[in-house]
Amino acid sequence: MHWTTLNFGTHEGKSLPQIVISDPDWFFWAVARGVFTGTLAAEAEDLVKMATAIKIPKPHSKRWRVEYRYEDTGSFLGFEFVRANSHCGHHSTRLPHLDLSCVRRGKAYDKKGCRYLLRDFRRRYFGKSASATKRRCEEFFSNPKNFVRRSTRPAE
pLDDT of residue 155: 44
pLDDT of residue 150: 60
Question: Three-state SS across 110-136?
Answer: CHHHHHHHHHHHHHHHHCCCCCCCHHH
pLDDT at residue 33 above 90? yes
Alpha helices in the chain (DSSP H): 16-22, 24-33, 38-51, 102-106, 111-121, 134-142
At 42-100, the pLDDT tens digits run 999 999 999 999 999 999 999 999 999 999 888 899 999 999 999 887 789 999 999 99
Distance CA 77, CA 153 (A): 33
pLDDT of residue 73: 85
Distance CA 147, CA 20 (A): 15
> How crowded is the C-beta side of 54, counted as CA atoms within 13 Å?
21
pLDDT at residue 153 above 50? no
pTM of the model: 0.89
pLDDT of residue 154: 45
C-alpha distance from residue 109 to each of 29, 58, 76, 138 (Å): 9, 30, 11, 25
Closest CA to 28 of 36, 118, 80: 36
pLDDT at residue 151 above 60? no
Distance CA 55, CA 146 (A): 5
Distance CA 44, CA 36 (A): 7
Name which residue leads in pLDDT, 95 or 107.
95
What residues does 92 pair with on adjacent strands? 69
pLDDT average, residue stretch 95-108: 88
